[in-house]
Structure 1
């Protein structure tokens, strides 16, 4: 059974030999793989954005709903990484891969159920955002088709979690690179050459994601056979994996609720702010995944170190990755400030959308150093299996964030009269407050010792 390390149990806080190299070995491929996921959406945005404002605004609504439907199950990656890494640290490779295979079976079951729900309820889901009728029509088309890619998205999460737990971030990188390349080609051909419009973009992404999932399953199954692990589903263990993921599910739901409420307020500000917000959130997601590479390294390293009873190594790696997270955030912020006028030209031909997006990107840039710290702390605590605390903290943060967002909503009419750019800047300042609240909550938790639980 895991045991909590008492405060002060170790006095050696110096970084273990080779920790820099180990973190880089995990983080660099993870960075390249992670940025591929938002690149799927960025490619959609760039291609669909030139179809018109309604199509881009519709994509904003549909993508927010789709990402919510898939990302609430992010525990399939995060929880699996922590479980597999702990077993690996304890020297139990067969048990590690067995836990991962159960995660894949769980992802398939959850994916099929979610596909049915989202496909049937696509129109009501899109109507919740309050976008205009034309934008809602486009959103419904995209979401209904994209729903069939959800099983593949969840399998990718589970399989990637297994590989990360085994300290392998290169294979997910290869899969993401191939998938992203196919996604761009398919979307361009289906949207323009085949004349399918926004439906073609959705279909191309579904095909690419499903192909990625099949490739990753093949890799995992090969490893399982090599280690002599069973490939059959074990209902008890699958259920245990689901129960283990509940706290992370609650944490993710609370976080996605905050993001969805932000999109809802953006829709209330008008179609132009909504379209610009969709692109700004896509870019923020891209940058978040880039910074989250350190969080992935933190998950894998923390789980393995705690599984091997290495408290000193866990603490040293946490401090080092926080330092990297801050400075990576600063570098990303500088790059975004330098390109905030260029990026809008890629995503829209509408001058009002471009102007609003350019203004919002300056706020997005200001958030990045804080985001770098938040993502590292999140990864460390997830890797430690501290899901229950993460759930409580994120729910509390979301509760505090709601009044801040409500103030923006209450003044929507005034903000609209002051122009789309001003309205969007205010909205993104509110979103920045959410990140600061997360930093305070996670930092408070990490300063203590209750999350330092050792053993397999």
Structure 2
């Protein structure tokens, strides 16, 4: 990346700082709603992609499923490029060091490019063995590999987008990421049916066409994020000290993400042992749970940016008041969602299946799904608060402990004692409750609220986490 001549550099106007006590509900929603749009855009596009490829038949669809699983698993472990960058950038923004806040985005982008290229190279070598291991069928694996070899070229672009989302959220500019992401996905959505089915005179590339459309759209989004950095007037040279600090923060976030992956993969594996109806019912409720978490995560992202800015501005009291305010909002919102799903318990499952056995299994998990929502509202909000404070080491430890002593034992006991979905979803409930207790105690303690933009965002957690 090379900076433009100084006379052409354009510095974005910093977002006006508002004292945490004066932040309105409109301001919080103004950050949360665009974040929700970014979070929801990709899953919605994936549903469209599945529908387009699904018209080719079961084999290409299975190949897409396996290839998509591999790519998603890799990219999920690197979300520290967005969440970690937001935490560091928000502190600097709160201290009125706007160029330094954007500079965090520059270094995160260098990191995204470097890690993305490594994954691209390693992924090309590992695509065949990994796909064969997961698929267990030569034809499905062949389709997955053909899709994956092209889709891997999008990994550096995806990571650039994560870094861009991170620093823009940190400076409380959530509208531009939404526009950039939608621009890329809209182009992918236009190209996908054209390249998959050979419409409008285009070549019929079938499953590979889906991957090509994805990469083209991702290149548009990544280019827009890069242009934003080029126009910022911020120095673009890599800084190993900043990149090293981002990697240390990322280490804890990756460990936390791996704990989630282990829990939910174990839950799916155990549900499958109870038969097709059980795993299908589990999958339906789990997808609805994922929808709820997207909504709650948008408020958590707003909390992350606002709390980080308050601490960067040395307003410890304001950060604490804001933390509890957003948590109250999130808990009430989650309770409202719980009421909606409670009232829809006899209607919503029928939208996904007409199979009586599957609906019966959905009913088993449904009560747990509804009951944990208000607790999840507290967990997600305070996760955002602690991430905004850079308290990643504590979140790592709390998540690992909740998984090892709550979720995972109950999942495997469900298999041993034949508890079915009731046991699996009891495990998820305990996981959420344990995490809620941990983050509430941590927030009340005040040990997370370390002020100042020049403090190492990660360092204070090594002893306190």
Out of 9, 16, 25, the position equivalent to 2:21 is 16
Deviation at 1:29, TM superposition (A): 1.7
> Comparing 178-187 with 92-101, which one deviates more in the overlay?
178-187
Question: Matched residues in 1 for 2:336 and 2:322: separation?
Answer: 21
How many positions carry a matched residue from both structures? 426
Give the equivalent residue in structure 2 for 1:166. Answer: 171
Deviation at 1:158, TM superposition (A): 0.5
Give the equivalent residue in structure 2 for 1:79. Answer: 84
Give the equivalent residue in structure 1 for 2:106. Answer: 101
Q: Does 1:370 align with 2:375?
A: yes
Alpha-carbon spacing, 1:50–1:333, altered in 2? closer, same or farther (3 Å): farther
Give the equivalent residue in structure 2 for 1:29. Answer: 34
Give the equivalent residue in structure 1 for 2:438. Answer: 441
Give the equivalent residue in structure 1 for 2:352. Answer: 344
Give the equivalent residue in structure 2 for 1:419. Answer: none
| 8 Å CA contact retained: 2:320, 2:449 | no
Alpha-carbon spacing, 1:314–1:186, altered in 2? closer, same or farther (3 Å): same
Q: Does 1:220 align with 2:226?
A: no
| 8 Å CA contact retained: 1:75, 1:248 | yes
Alpha-carbon spacing, 1:63–1:257, altered in 2? closer, same or farther (3 Å): farther
Alignment of 1:39-438 (within 5 A): 39-48=44-53, 59-126=64-131, 139-193=144-198, 196-223=205-232, 225=233, 229-266=234-271, 268=273, 281-336=286-341, 338=344, 340-341=348-349, 343-344=351-352, 355=359, 359=363, 362=366, 364-400=369-405, 401-410=407-416, 427-438=424-435
Residues 277-327 of structure 1, C-alpha deviations (whole Å, 9 max, x = no match): 566544433332222111111110011000111122212211121122122
> Comparing 314-323 with 183-192, which one deviates more in the overlay?
183-192
> Comparing 131-140 with 65-74, which one deviates more in the overlay?
131-140
- Cα RMSD between the aligned structures? 3.3
Deviation at 1:265, TM superposition (A): 3.5
Residues 338-366 of structure 1, C-alpha deviations (whole Å, 9 max, x = no match): 36236426xxxx95897589658835455
Question: Matched residues in 2 for 1:66 and 1:353: separation?
Answer: 32
| 8 Å CA contact retained: 1:186, 1:204 | yes
- Higher Cα Rg: structure 1 or 2? 2
| 8 Å CA contact retained: 1:344, 1:358 | no
Alpha-carbon spacing, 1:34–1:431, altered in 2? closer, same or farther (3 Å): same
Identify which of structures 1 and 2 has the higher relative contact order when contacts are C-alpha pairs closer than 8 Å and 6+ apart: 1
Alpha-carbon spacing, 1:240–1:388, altered in 2? closer, same or farther (3 Å): same
Alpha-carbon spacing, 1:233–1:377, altered in 2? closer, same or farther (3 Å): same
| 8 Å CA contact retained: 2:184, 2:219 | no
Question: Matched residues in 1 for 2:320 and 2:288: separation?
Answer: 32
Residues 5-28 of structure 1, C-alpha deviations (whole Å, 9 max, x = no match): xxxxxxxxx971233232122112
> Can you give the 5+ residue segments of structure 2 that lack an aligned partner in the other structure?
1-18, 454-465
Alpha-carbon spacing, 1:220–1:368, altered in 2? closer, same or farther (3 Å): farther
| 8 Å CA contact retained: 2:411, 2:423 | no
| 8 Å CA contact retained: 2:364, 2:422 | yes
Question: Matched residues in 1 for 2:37 and 2:236: separation?
Answer: 30
Deviation at 1:129, TM superposition (A): 5.0
Give the equivalent residue in structure 2 for 1:5. Answer: none
Deviation at 1:216, TM superposition (A): 1.6
> Can you give the 5+ residue segments of structure 1 that lack an aligned partner in the other structure?
1-13, 416-422
Alpha-carbon spacing, 1:452–1:432, altered in 2? closer, same or farther (3 Å): same
| 8 Å CA contact retained: 1:156, 1:212 | yes
Deviation at 1:382, TM superposition (A): 0.5
> Comparing 286-295 with 324-333, which one deviates more in the overlay?
324-333
Question: Matched residues in 1 for 2:211 and 2:72: separation?
Answer: 13
Q: TM-score, normalised by structure 1?
A: 0.81
Alpha-carbon spacing, 1:293–1:425, altered in 2? closer, same or farther (3 Å): same
Question: Matched residues in 2 for 1:123 and 1:430: separation?
Answer: 35
Q: TM-score, normalised by structure 2?
A: 0.80
